């Protein structure tokens, strides 16, 4: 009896120390976990909206809807604000009055819609164009809409019936291109000759978009750029008259060119767009006008044709055209840019030793300060940084252990998590732990890597050695729906990944060390 009681006590203690439904995470779990993206905040910082994609385990059918958090509410919890069955709502953005704009295919094509988060009214359609909307930005004064999408060059408005597509559907998955078709394929998507990603400006009148005008003038190329460009390549000036956009000319050099340039265009002018960065034959991108309209921040590379060159934070005086390198002394590559509301500093993200943190950069001195973005030992992958009134920050964050959620960092540095969309599902999985390692590699350089392994008393584990491609990349502390180290660790492996020479986040010399 004594042995039976002791055995029962041991079994009970083991049960209490293990999650009730602990099990390995599977590839089905990876595919069906909820996906949070595109967070945005209202001008007063009260409302936070974001998009969330959900996947049916049986069919893998996906749908995306919009969710809203009222930060003034006690124990605020996200609620669905636009989540139509069988349709998708994406890309939320607030105007100056707190109305929420977004992209929806509820009308049969992707168009801009709007809804008032403070009222119980239904969403209404804003654009009704022939072309589908890929993205948009609202002017600071709320009177105009900058919209982009794939539009043939011959169209004077946002979409038309193009006469000649330039490509015929071939047998199977092939295509037949006519002579002189030019560039035919970006990464994983076919090009339609004569059709480009093009920005247009609409007037907003009583919640409806009217009178669209092409921004790109006579320029031929994609804006945002393809295949990886996005809305960070376009911006409104603080005057609501000026549009800044990034474009790489579509000419014979396009397949090997990294020469993206930033152009400015006045909405109420008949003038052609002005190339602000024509002297630099390498990449110029991420235009970010200051709140007072005096400065344009952007990121620039120095070496033409080298896509893994360092992106330095630049500042251009918009009245004189004088430009200076603000972070030339900082050996990291800027990936995103956002101005603080007072214009005295900027927030940027950059890869840094297996992590992707947020940094604060002084607008005068260029001094860089790394900001703590979580209560965990490692910050993971921070993105979508949005400055809030009063000095706070809204941002997304994920790690190798967990997918994306949203966080607020207040002016004093206190961090709070405002979403936990996968918490219940993650709690079902066997626990996994992460650590970092370093060692002396070739030429005595310090080389870093991560280790993920099951939390278990087992001393020896089979190793899954996972190596990233690129080579200019990093297999760091970030969540991936393509190459996920936690999935291997959940099957009982000790996962080891090393950021070998050529990886990013360790200074440009380390990245360049195996070039060619």
- pLDDT of 301-328, one tens digit each? 999 999 999 999 999 999 999 999 999 9
Return all residues near 2 (Cβ < 8 A) that are at least 6 apart.
none
pLDDT-above-90 percentage for the chain: 81
Query: Which one-letter DSSP state was computed for residue 98?
Result: S
Residue 174 pLDDT exceeds 80: no
First-to-last alpha carbon distance for the chain, in angstroms, is 73
Residue 180 pLDDT exceeds 50: yes
8 Å CB contact between 488 and 495? yes
| Pairwise CA distance, residues 288 & 181, whole Å | 34
Confidence of residue 119 (pLDDT cuts 50, 70, 90): confident
Q: Look at residues 239, 231, 291, 227 and name the one whose alpha carbon lies nearest to residue 265.
A: 239
Q: How many Cβ atoms from other residues are within 10 Å of residue 371's Cβ?
A: 17
| Pairwise CA distance, residues 235 & 299, whole Å | 14
pLDDT of residue 166: 56
Q: Look at residues 356, 363, 321, 365 and name the one whose alpha carbon lies nearest to residue 336.
A: 356
pTM: 0.93
8 Å CB contact between 371 and 358? yes
8 Å CB contact between 53 and 64? yes
8 Å CB contact between 499 and 506? yes
| Pairwise CA distance, residues 341 & 84, whole Å | 35
Structure tokens at 76: 């605020």
Instruction: Map residue 466 onto helix, strand or coil.
Output: coil
Q: What is the mean pLDDT of the chain?
A: 92
Q: Is the peptide bond before 471 cis (omega within 30 degrees of 0)?
A: yes
Structure tokens at 264: 């400015």
pLDDT of residue 185: 83
pLDDT digits (tens, 9 = 90+) for 373-402: 998 889 999 999 999 999 999 999 999 999
Confidence of residue 6 (pLDDT cuts 50, 70, 90): very low
pLDDT of residue 36: 98
pLDDT digits (tens, 9 = 90+) for 263-295: 999 999 889 999 999 999 999 999 999 999 999
Q: How many Cβ atoms from other residues are within 10 Å of residue 293's Cβ?
A: 16
What does R_g of the chain's alpha carbons equal in angstroms?
25
């Amino acid at each position: 009896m004594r042995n039976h009681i002791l055995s029962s006590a041991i079994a009970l203690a083991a049960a209490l120390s293990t999650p009730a439904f602990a099990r390995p995470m599977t590839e089905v779990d990876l595919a069906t976990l909820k996906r949070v993206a595109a967070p945005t905040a209202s001008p007063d910082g009260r409302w936070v909206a974001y998009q969330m994609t959900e996947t049916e385990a049986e069919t893998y059918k996906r749908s995306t809807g919009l969710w809203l958090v009222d930060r003034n509410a006690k124990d605020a919890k996200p609620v669905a604000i636009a989540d139509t069955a069988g349709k998708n709502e994406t890309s939320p953005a607030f105007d100056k009055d707190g109305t929420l704009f977004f992209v929806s295919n509820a009308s049969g094509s992707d168009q801009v819609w709007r809804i008032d988060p403070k009222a119980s009214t239904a969403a209404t359609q804003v654009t009704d164009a022939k072309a589908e909307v890929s993205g948009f930005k609202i002017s600071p004064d709320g009177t105009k809409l900058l919209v982009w999408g794939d539009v043939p060059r011959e169209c004077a408005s946002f979409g038309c019936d193009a006469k000649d597509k330039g490509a015929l559907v071939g047998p199977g998955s092939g295509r037949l291109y006519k002579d002189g078709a030019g560039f035919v394929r970006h990464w994983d998507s076919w090009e339609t000759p004569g059709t480009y990603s093009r920005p247009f400006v609409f007037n907003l009148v009583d919640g409806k978009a009217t009178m669209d005008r092409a921004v790109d003038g006579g320029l031929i190329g994609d804006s945002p750029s393809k295949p990886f460009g996005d809305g960070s390549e376009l911006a409104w000036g603080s005057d609501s008259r000026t549009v800044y956009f990034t474009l790489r000319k579509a000419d014979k050099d396009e397949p090997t060119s990294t020469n993206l340039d930033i152009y400015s265009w006045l909405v109420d002018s008949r003038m052609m767009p002005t190339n602000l960065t024509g002297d630099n034959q390498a990449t110029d991108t991420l235009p970010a006008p200051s709140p007072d309209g005096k400065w344009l921040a952007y990121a620039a590379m120095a070496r033409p044709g080298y896509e893994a060159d360092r992106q330095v934070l630049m500042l251009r005086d918009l009245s004189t055209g004088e430009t200076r390198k603000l972070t030339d002394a900082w050996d990291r590559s800027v990936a995103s840019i956002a101005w603080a509301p007072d214009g005295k500093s900027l927030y940027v993200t950059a890869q840094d030793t297996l992590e992707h943190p947020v940094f604060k950069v002084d607008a005068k001195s260029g001094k860089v300060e790394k900001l703590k973005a979580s209560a965990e030992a490692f910050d993971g992958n921070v993105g979508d940084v949005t400055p809030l009134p009063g000095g706070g920050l809204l941002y997304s964050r994920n790690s190798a252990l967990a997918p994306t959620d949203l966080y607020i960092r207040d002016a004093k540095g206190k961090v709070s998590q405002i979403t936990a969309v996968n918490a219940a599902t993650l709690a079902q999985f066997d626990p996994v732990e992460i650590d970092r390692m370093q060692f002396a590699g070739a030429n005595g350089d310090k080389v870093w890597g991560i280790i993920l392994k099951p939390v278990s008393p087992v001393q020896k584990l089979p190793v899954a050695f996972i190596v990233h491609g690129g080579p200019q990349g990093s297999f760091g502390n970030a969540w991936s729906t393509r190459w996920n180290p936690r999935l291997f660790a959940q099957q009982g492996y000790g996962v080891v990944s090393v950021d070998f020479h050529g990886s990013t986040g360790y200074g440009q010399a380390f990245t360049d060390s195996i070039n060619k």
